Structure 1
Amino acid sequence: MEQDVPARVYGLGTVEARIMSRIGFEVGAALASLSVDSGEAVTEGQVLASLHSAEQEARVARAEAVVAAAVATLGRTRANVVRAEAVLAQSEAANARRQALALRSAISDQSAEESQRDVEVARADLAVAETEISVAQAQLADAEAALRYEAALLEHHVLRAPYDAVVVDRHVEAGTVVRAGDPVFSLMDPGTVWTLAYVDEARAGSIALGQLAEVRLRSLPQEVFPGTVVRIGIESDRVNEERRIWIACDRCPAQIYLGEQAEAWITVSTLSQAVLVPEIAVRGFDGHRGRVWVVMEGQLTEVAVVFGHRTEDARLEIVDGLPEGAEVVSTPVNGLSEGRRVRAIAEDAP
């Protein structure tokens, strides 16, 4: 019986980043400048690159001129309204005098009718002028929207960092004509670095979220980086029969190299007390059951037992089927047979 035995599962994988982006421009043009290179840290909103934008700048200037013209048109229509209001007021005053004179027969009925007609015409002119204000306001709104659109397209000629990141790769150089959507940089968020480990399906069943793990990198084999299981893939590799496990590092290395090979040991349990037998000493092991030789009262006998966890040094935990007082033969030798008398010697005996 052994005490406090850690049961760990081994996985081999690579260093990855959960947030990694291949970014580019939303429009196409020739690259005018590139401000950063591979390995550099960038902050959110920082300018990374820019495109030649002379044509788009001209479109923006044209849109600004259209807005200025729309503003002038709106001012003119408002002035026309003021003029129409003044004409209407003058017509109404003149009409009032003529209608009073017509009542005293001082002027002809025809003159009175013409005066009333002038009022109606002036009122119609005012309505037209007021309508032209609405038309001018709509034209101004349309011109301003067109200006915002052209300004947005001009802004698309500048590539900015979407978040605090590290430049993984620069895919093009200045002068290259890029199309919309072509990747210019690959970025990663250094705060989302984790290890993607591939674990044999036969051993992955006891892995759960939150379990502690240890990671060793190929470039730093002398260091151990603690981590935690944060994601378990719900789809296994159908060819290699492996499950994908993601481990977030509690303490990450100072320099990250994506794709670097990493070894992971995940602690799935700690056995407070356990009888362990090397897998090589088990016959007919199917992943759960098998047969082992035991010594009882000085004689050999083979018994069927049930196994639990498997340690990283290829030993199996016996959880059921072991007779009381029996000693397991941990080192297989030739000539073992049922009922043969033997003498048990501890592995650490001289």
Structure 2
Amino acid sequence: MTQPHRYGPVLGIAFLILVAVSLWGWYSLQPGDQPPRSAPSVSIRPEVSVVEVVPQSYQAQLKGYGSAQAHYAVTLTAQVSGQVKRLNPAFASGRHVKADTLLAQLEDSRYQAEVASAQQALASARVALLEEQREGAQAEAEWARSGLEGAPESPLVLRQPQLAAAQATLQQAQASLANARHQLKDTRVLAPFDAVVVSRAISPGTQVQSGATLGELVSTDYVEIRVSLPPSDWAQLPGEDQLNAGQWPVTLRDAQTQSQWQGHVIRTEGTLDDTTRQRALILAVDQPFEQTPPLLPGTFVEALIPGRTLNQLWALPATALSQSGKLWYLREDQTLAAFEAQPRFSHHGLIFIEPPEPLAIAPQQVLTQPLHSYTPGMAVTPVLIQPTEKPSQPADRSKLNTEFQEPQA
């Protein structure tokens, strides 16, 4: 009996697959059948955040930095030699002293003796002058009685040189007494002005020589802050007469603690720095040690200086200016355009830009966060951001305290 071929089932399945493929190909090529069409492409415009701005007037706000320095700082030195006999307890670091306060007393017995000696020498010089004046008067009388005509051959006859010498001796004695009294006075070390003691270098019993350091003081009347500004900032300040009048206000802030103090401009410097080519504005805070907290000499501060009122400026968030220094805005056809911009000043996260004249005529929509991929003429969909103003700010400064917020979903 013959067995069936073992490949029979496989060949049958292959035959069926071949038939199915042939039939599918025949039907797909029949007239009227069309290949499937792809869906039409849709152009998607990216959304961009914009703020609508119009030119307005704003008061310039300038920033500068500097270190507070005492109005006066002095190193006390001994004017005479001697031993320290007494010290005022207030002559210690951190203590406040008034002007003319006695800080230290040196041994003065030697200087008192020198004053007494100078007084004796002065008295003797006065007596000698009186005697010489009498001798001169007698010499003139004798010359007159002699009957000789004209002047004597030598001024010694009338004792004129002797009189001049006596007068000079008197003047020298007077000067010596004044010097002796001045040295005696210098044994008393006094505070030259209202001050805070920075350091003391002597103790009771210390033997000091003339010129030796006794201590250091700084004045308490006011501190000065020297702030260097570039020419572009000076152009936004009022006139120098107004600045030098001493009434122009400034706000100072500690860069570390954020403490604030109110000060004023006291003067302007008349030269440029050789290195930075900048000019300095000198600010002051009165009675710095009585402030809360005290403004101590050496504190590094940020100065906020109001300037002149500038017209035709846009107020924009700082993020609106690209890293390449451009502002992007929308044309009427909702496409992008840009121009290079330099902020006139910045304040509270805002930059203030003077727009090109054609853009200042009507309100414009400016991008708040431009990307590097943006190109001129690119079609976009704008999303308007509404500015909100801080209600706690005074009305005349509200334009300088505007924040831009995304609309709530």
Instruction: Give yes or no for TM over 0.5.
Output: yes
Q: Which residue of 1 aligns with 2:71?
A: 18
1:117-266 correspondence runs (5 A):
139-162=169-192, 164-174=193-203, 175-197=205-227, 203=233, 205-207=235-237, 209=240, 210=243, 211-217=248-254, 221=258, 224-233=260-269, 234-236=271-273, 238=275, 244-249=280-285, 252=288, 253=291, 255-266=294-305
Q: Which residue of 2 aligns with 1:292?
A: 327
SS of the equivalent of 1:345 reads: strand
Give the Cα–Cα distance (whole angstroms) in 1 for the partners of residues 311 and 274 of structure 2. Answer: 34
- Taking a change above 3 Å as real, the CA distance of residues 244 and 76 of structure 1, as seen in their structure-2 partners, is closer
**Percent of paired sites with the same residue:** 21
> Given the alignment, which residue of 365, 385, 395 partners 1:347?
385
Give the Cα–Cα distance (whole angstroms) in 2 for the partners of residues 205 and 276 of structure 1. Answer: 19
Query: Does the CA contact (< 8 Å) of 2:196 and 2:219 recur in 1?
Result: no
Give the Cα–Cα distance (whole angstroms) in 2 for the partners of residues 204 and 142 of structure 1. Answer: 58
Determine whether 1:54 maps to 2:77: no
- Taking a change above 3 Å as real, the CA distance of residues 272 and 139 of structure 1, as seen in their structure-2 partners, is closer
- Taking a change above 3 Å as real, the CA distance of residues 302 and 258 of structure 1, as seen in their structure-2 partners, is same
> What amino acid maps onto 1:345 in structure 2?
V
- Taking a change above 3 Å as real, the CA distance of residues 322 and 185 of structure 1, as seen in their structure-2 partners, is farther
- Taking a change above 3 Å as real, the CA distance of residues 149 and 249 of structure 1, as seen in their structure-2 partners, is closer
- Taking a change above 3 Å as real, the CA distance of residues 128 and 198 of structure 1, as seen in their structure-2 partners, is closer
Q: Which residue of 1 aligns with 2:394?
A: none
Count of matched residue pairs: 304
Structure 1 residue 13: deviation in Å? 2.4
Query: Does the CA contact (< 8 Å) of 2:111 and 2:180 recur in 1?
Result: yes
> What amino acid maps onto 2:80 in structure 1?
V
Q: Which residue of 1 aligns with 2:355?
A: 319
Q: Deviations over 1:93-145 (max 9, x none)?
A: xxxxxxxxxxxxxxxxxxxxxxx9xxxxxxxxxx8999978766654444333
Q: Which residue of 2 aligns with 1:329?
A: 367
SS of the equivalent of 1:297 reads: coil
Query: Does the CA contact (< 8 Å) of 1:11 and 1:200 recur in 2?
Result: no
- Taking a change above 3 Å as real, the CA distance of residues 138 and 6 of structure 1, as seen in their structure-2 partners, is closer
SS of the equivalent of 2:384 reads: coil
Query: Does the CA contact (< 8 Å) of 1:305 and 1:320 recur in 2?
Result: no
Give the Cα–Cα distance (whole angstroms) in 2 for the partners of residues 266 and 306 of structure 1. Answer: 23
Structure 1 residue 347: deviation in Å? 1.8
Structure 1 residues 38-47 or 9-18, which shifts more?
38-47
- Taking a change above 3 Å as real, the CA distance of residues 226 and 74 of structure 1, as seen in their structure-2 partners, is closer
1:9-88 correspondence runs (5 A):
9-35=62-88, 36-70=91-125
SS of the equivalent of 2:375 reads: coil
Query: Does the CA contact (< 8 Å) of 1:292 and 1:304 recur in 2?
Result: yes
TM-score, L = length of structure 2: 0.60
- Taking a change above 3 Å as real, the CA distance of residues 21 and 307 of structure 1, as seen in their structure-2 partners, is same
Query: Does the CA contact (< 8 Å) of 2:223 and 2:286 recur in 1?
Result: no
- Taking a change above 3 Å as real, the CA distance of residues 133 and 228 of structure 1, as seen in their structure-2 partners, is closer
Structure 1 residue 258: deviation in Å? 1.0
> What amino acid maps onto 1:56 in structure 2?
Y
Larger Rg: 2
- Taking a change above 3 Å as real, the CA distance of residues 56 and 265 of structure 1, as seen in their structure-2 partners, is same
Structure 1 residue 280: deviation in Å? 4.3
Name structure 2 gaps, 5 residues minimum: 1-52, 147-156, 387-406
> What amino acid maps onto 1:8 in structure 2?
Q
Structure 1 residue 332: deviation in Å? 1.0
Query: Does the CA contact (< 8 Å) of 1:293 and 1:300 recur in 2?
Result: no
Computed over aligned residues only, the root mean square deviation of the Cα atoms, in angstroms, reads 4.0
TM-score, L = length of structure 1: 0.68
Structure 1 residue 257: deviation in Å? 1.5
Q: Which residue of 1 aligns with 2:152?
A: none
> What amino acid maps onto 1:301 in structure 2?
L
> What amino acid maps onto 2:252 in structure 1?
V
